Amino acid sequence: MRLVMKFGGTAVDSGKKIVHITNLIKSYHDKGNDIIGVFSAVTGMTDEILNVSGYVLKRDKRKIKDFINKTRKIHVDIIQDCVKNKSHKAKAIEVVEALLKEMENILNGIVMLSEVTEKAMDYLLSFGERLLTPIVSYSLLDKGLDSVFLTGQEAGILTDSKFGHARPLLDTTKIRVKYNIDPLLKENKIPVITGFIGGDQNGNITTLGRSGSDYTATIIGVCVDADEVWLWTDVNGLMTADPHIVKEARVLKEVSFAEAIELSLFGAKYMHPRALEPVMDTKIPIRIRNAFNLSNEGTVISKNPSKSSQNIVKSIIAIRNTALIDVSGGGMVGAPGTAAKIFDALARKSVNIMMISQSPSESSISMVVKKDDLDTATTTLDLTLLDKVIKNVRVNEDVAVIAVVGSGMRGIKGIAARVFSSVSKDNINVIMIAQGSSELNLAFVVDNTDCEKAVRSLHEAFMLGKLK
C-alpha cells in the first residue's frame, strides 16, 4: 500500500517519541508499503513563534536570544536522544544550527523595522516544522532506512498568496508533487515532508492555517494516489468528546466526511477545517490513530460509513477562546441591509464570524468570534458603524461554544429539548443558540467557566460513554 502518515506535534515532542515513531514507520515500510511522512512542529513551537514575534514588535530584543536558546535546547536534546550515529548527529545539528541562525537574523530584522508583515510571519512560522523534519529524517537514516527531508514547498505544494491561510492550487500541485515524490519512492526512499507549509507563485513560503499539517497530509495523499492517509496523534481517534475533559469519552470507529468536517469546522482542535477537501471526491479513507496505542484501530473517516455507526449524536465539542459581541440599536429594526453592513465591515478586516443569531425583533445581533479577532472586530464596528447603524456594542470576552454534532440528528424531534433540559438541570446558563440548517449540529454559547460542565452534562445525557 502507499500510505501518507502525518504525525502531530504531540507525537514528536521528545527524542524518545521520535525513536518510537521511526520504529513504527520502519515496521510498515518493512512490510512493503511506500511511506510518505508529514510532520508538524514540536508541540507548542508554533505558539512560541507567534509569541516571540509579538515581543519583538514591542522591541524586546532580549526575548530573541532567550527564544533561540530555548528552541536550540529543545531540538538538540531531541537529536541527542534519537540520532545515534555520529556523522548523522553532526549533520542534523548542523542543519538545525543553520536554521536557528537564519531565524535569529529575521527576528533581529523585525526588531529594527518594528513591523512584521503577513509574508514575514509565514516565513517565521515555517521554522517550526523545518526544524523537525531533518531530525526525523536523520533518525530514519540511523535505522538503516533511506530518507530525505523536504519542505511542503519543495515537495511541490503551490498555493495562493493568502499568507496565514493559503489554499493549494491543486491542479498544478498534483503534477509537481507527483513529479517530485514518485521518483523518491521508486528509489525506496522515505520522504519526510514539513506539514503546514507551501509556496506561492513568487516562491514565497506560505502557511495553510493552524493545524495545517493535516491539510498537507491529504494534499500529498491525493497527489501521490495514496491508498490511505493516516493522521497519527496522541489520542485514540476522533472521540465522543475531548478526552481531556470527559474521562469516559469513547472512540468513534467510523465517521462520514460530512460529520468530520462539521467536527473540524467547529474548530475542534484535532483537525484543520479544510483537511478533508482534497480527499472528499476520492476513495481515499482517512484514519486517525494513536501513535502510542497501536492496539486501538482508531477512527476511519470515509464517504459511506456503515449503517451501524450512525447514532444520533456523535460528539460534543467545546470551542474555547471565543468572545461574544452583541450589537444593538432601535435603528436596526426593519432596516434592510443592516446585517450585511455589519458582516461586510468585519469581513473586510478578515474577522471570521463563527456563529450568528438575530432576535426576531431585529433590534440586536449577536456574533461569536475568536478571541484573537475581538480587538479588530470591536474597533471596526466602533469606527465604521457606531452611531450610524448601531447604537451599542457589548462584549462578553470569555465564552465557549458547545456544539452537539451528528448526522443522525437530522429530522429527529426532541434533540434540542434533551440538550437544553440537560444543561439547565446542571445549572448552566445558555447565552445564545444556533442550529445549522443541515441539522448536523446544534450549537450554543455558555460562559467559559461552564464549558467543561456543559460538555460532561451532554456527554452523559446522550449516553455517549456507553457507545459500543
User: Where along the sequence are the contacts to ligand ASP (CB under 6 A)?
Assistant: 9, 40-41, 46, 128, 195-196, 210-213
Segment interacting with Mg ion, rule: CB under 5 A, options 142-150, 169-177, 209-217, 331-339? 209-217
- How far is the CA of 149 from the CAs of 183, 370, 457, in angstroms? 14, 35, 46
Q: What angle do CA 284, 289, 293 make, to 5 degrees?
A: 150
Distances from the Cα of 205 to the Cα of 104, 122, 125, 197, angstroms: 17, 7, 10, 7
Asked whether position 211 contacts ligand ADP by CB under 6 A, the answer is yes
Judged by CB under 6 A, how many residues of this single chain contact ligand ADP? 18
Q: Print the binding letters for residues 1-30 with Mg ion: x by CB under 5 A, - otherwise.
A: -------x----------------------
Q: Distance between CA 444 and CA 433 in Å, rounded?
A: 4
Residue 387 backbone phi and psi in degrees, to 5: 70, 0
Binding partner at 10 among ligand ASP, ligand ADP, Mg ion, none, C-beta below 5 to 8 Å by kind: ligand ADP
Site for ligand ADP (CB under 6 A): which residue of 270, 277, 298, 450? 270
Confirm or reject binding of residue 241 to ligand ADP (CB under 6 A).
yes
Q: Least separation, in Å, of the C-beta of 391 and ligand ADP?
A: 39
Among 22, 211, 338, 448, interactor with Mg ion by CB under 5 A: 211
Neighbours of 249 (CB within 10 A): 23
128 forms part of the interface with Mg ion (CB under 5 A) = no
Could you tell me if 353 and 369 are in contact, meaning their C-beta atoms sit under 8 angstroms apart? yes
CB atoms within 10 A of CB 114: 10
296 near ligand ADP, judged by CB under 6 A: no
Which CB atom, from 8 or from 168, has the smaller least distance to Mg ion?
A: 8
Q: Could you give the CA distance from residue 179 to residue 200 in angstroms, rounded to a whole number?
A: 18
Secondary structure (3-state) at 461: helix
The entry of ligand ASP, Mg ion, ligand ADP, none that residue 212 binds, CB within 5 to 8 Å by partner kind: ligand ASP
With CB under 5 to 8 Å by kind, the binding choice for 195 among Mg ion, ligand ADP, ligand ASP, none is ligand ASP
Q: Give the whole-angstrom CA distance, residue 277 versus residue 275.
A: 6
Q: Between 201 and 321, whose beta carbon lies closer to ligand ADP? A: 321
**Contact flag: residue 191 with Mg ion (CB under 5 A):** no
Residue 121: phi, psi to the nearest 5? -60, -45
425 in contact with ligand ADP (CB under 6 A)? no
Nearest of 467, 438, 442, 439 to residue 454 by alpha carbon: 442
Contacting residues for 258 by C-beta, under 8 A, at least 6 apart: 407, 438, 440
Residue with cell 456563529: 355
| Distance of closest approach, residue 212 Cβ to ligand ASP, in angstroms | 5
> Between β-strands 205-207 and 197-199, what pairing exists: parallel, antiparallel or unpaired?
antiparallel
Query: Please, which residue, 194 or 441, has the CB nearer to ligand ASP?
Result: 194
Cα–Cα distance, 415 to 453 (Å, whole number): 19
Residue with smaller CB distance to ligand ADP, 9 or 199: 9
For residues 306 and 255, what is the distance between their CA atoms, to the nearest angstrom?
9
Q: Which of 65, 269, 348, 410 binds ligand ADP (CB under 6 A)?
A: 269
Angle at 269 between CA 265 and CA 270, to 5 degrees: 90
The reply to whether 18 sits near ligand ADP by the rule CB under 6 A is no
Asked if residue 56 binds ligand ADP (CB under 6 A), the reply is no
User: In terms of CB distance, is 8 or 329 closer to Mg ion?
Assistant: 8
- Contact indicator for 123, 205 with CB cutoff of 8 Å: yes
Residue 315 binds to ligand ADP (criterion: CB under 6 A): yes
Residue with Cβ nearer ligand ASP (46 or 206)? 46
Q: 390 contacts which partner out of ligand ADP, Mg ion, ligand ASP, none, CB within 5 to 8 A by kind?
A: none
Confirm if 134 and 95 have CB atoms less than 8 A apart: yes
What is the distance between the terminal CA atoms of the chain, rounded to a whole angstrom?
Answer: 29
Judged by CB under 6 A, does residue 313 bind ligand ADP?
no
Chosen residue from 78, 92, 268, 385 binding ligand ADP by CB under 6 A? 268
Tell me the residue nearest to ligand ADP as measured from the CB.
8
Q: Which of ligand ADP, ligand ASP, Mg ion, none binds 302 (CB below 5-8 Å, type-dependent)?
A: none
Residues that bind Mg ion (CB under 5 A): 8, 211
Binding site for ligand ADP (CB under 6 A): 8-11, 40, 211, 233-235, 238-239, 241-242, 244, 268-270, 315
